[in-house]
Amino acid sequence: MDWETVYERNSVERIKRDKPPLGIREELPALVALGYEAMNEEDVVRLQWWGLYHDKPKVGTFMLRVKIPSGILAPSRLRRIGEVANRYGRGDAELTTRQCIQLHWLELGRLADVFADLEDAGITSAGGCGDTVRNIT
């Protein structure tokens, strides 16, 4: 099978070819200005590489999967994740089967602050979703 056939059959591969997924963070100000309802599905797919999915049902908020390599997390980082959940979400978080942490109810307009607060503590969501290496279950 050639690449053109792959791109025709697999929209995610086409999206990755057209725009590098990790570059979506640089576009957050434009997406915020556009608004949640006007975001196209391709941008939503690209956000997955930063650990973001629509909350279900699609109510205008996101779920962020914070990547915890090997499931090992310092107490200070766990505390920061809790602070972020309280500040930007609804105060709760979920542990996943793959030893990550999911935060729900995050608004598009606050995502840059969420990323900054996490990164300030050495925490990333890069690779929390999308085509990436994941923890073993």
For the domain covering 3-120, report its CATH number.
3.90.480.20
Other beta carbons within 10 angstroms of residue 7's beta carbon come to 16
pLDDT top residue among 25 and 128: 25
Torsion, CA 19, CA 67, CA 77, CA 75, rounded to 10: -170
Residue 116 clears pLDDT 80, i.e. is over it: yes
User: Across residues 41-60, what is the average pLDDT?
Assistant: 88
pLDDT top residue among 17 and 47: 47
How far is residue 83's CA from residue 117's CA, in Å, rounded to a whole number? 9
For residue range 13-42, list pLDDT tens digits in order: 888 888 888 899 999 999 999 999 999 889
Q: Check residue 41 and give its pLDDT.
A: 87
Block residue for tokens 């994740």: 81
pTM assigned to the model: 0.87
For residue range 59-102, list pLDDT tens digits in order: 889 999 999 999 999 999 999 999 999 999 999 999 999 999 99
**Sequence spans of domains, the chain:** 3-120
Q: Check residue 7 and give its pLDDT.
A: 80
